[in-house]
Amino acid sequence: MKKVISLILLLAFANLLVQAQSDKSLPGKVSIYTTAMDTDLRLTPTGSSEFADFGQPLETQICVFVDPEKTFQTFLGIGGAITDASAETFYKLPESRQKEILSAYFSRDKGIGYSLIRTNIHSCDFSSYSYTYVKDNDKELNSFSIDHDKKYRIPMIKAAMQEAGGEVTFYASPWSPPAWMKDNNNMLRGGKLKKEFYQAWADYFVRFIKSYEQEGIPVWGVTIQNEPMATQKWESCIFTAEEERDFLKYNLGPTMHKAGLGDKKIVMWDHNRDLVYQRASTYFSDPDVDKYAWGIGFHWYEDWSGGVPVFENIRRVQEAFPDKHMLFTEGCAESFDANRYEAWVLGEEYGRSMIHDFNNGTVGWTDWNILLDETGGPNHVGNFCFAPVHAITGTGEVIYTNSYYYIGHFSKFIHPGARRIIASPSRSQLISTAFKNPDGSTVVVVMNETEKAADYYLWIDGKAAPLTSLPRSIMTLVF
Predicted pLDDT of residue 86:
99
Predicted pLDDT of residue 26:
55
The dotted CATH code for 77-416 is: 3.20.20.80
Closest CA to 77 of 299, 363, 294: 363
Catalytic member of 88, 330, 348, 349: 330
Closest CA to 48 of 22, 66, 70, 29: 29
Q: Which amino acid is at 225?
A: Q
Is the pLDDT confidence value at 16 over 50? Answer: no
Is the pLDDT confidence value at 344 over 70? Answer: yes
Condensed to tens digits (0 to 9), the pLDDT of residues 261-277 reads 999 999 999 999 999 99
Where along the chain do its domains lie? 29-73+421-478, 77-416
Instruction: Give the angle subtended at the CA of 414 by the CAs of 410 and 415, to the nearest 5°.
Output: 140
**Catalytic-residue membership of 163:** no
Catalytic member of 227, 235, 244, 348: 227
Lowest-pLDDT choice from 26-35, 146-155, 190-199, 379-388: 26-35
**Catalytic-residue membership of 242:** no
Angle between helices 276-284 and 312-320 (to 10 degrees): 10
What's the pLDDT band for 15 if we cut at 50, 70, 90?
A: very low
At residue 71, the 3 state secondary structure works out as strand
Across residues 404-425, what is the average pLDDT? 98
Closest CA to 270 of 355, 172, 192: 172
Condensed to tens digits (0 to 9), the pLDDT of residues 439-453 reads 999 999 999 999 999
Across residues 431-439, what is the average pLDDT? 98
What's the pLDDT band for 455 if we cut at 50, 70, 90?
A: very high
Predicted pLDDT of residue 14:
40
Predicted pLDDT of residue 2:
42
User: What CATH homologous superfamily does 29-73+421-478 map to?
Assistant: Golgi alpha-mannosidase II (2.60.40.1180)
What's the pLDDT band for 134 if we cut at 50, 70, 90?
A: very high
What's the pLDDT band for 381 if we cut at 50, 70, 90?
A: very high
Q: How many CB atoms lie within 10 A of CB 150?
A: 12
Condensed to tens digits (0 to 9), the pLDDT of residues 18-39 reads 344 444 555 579 999 999 999 9
Predicted pLDDT of residue 363:
98
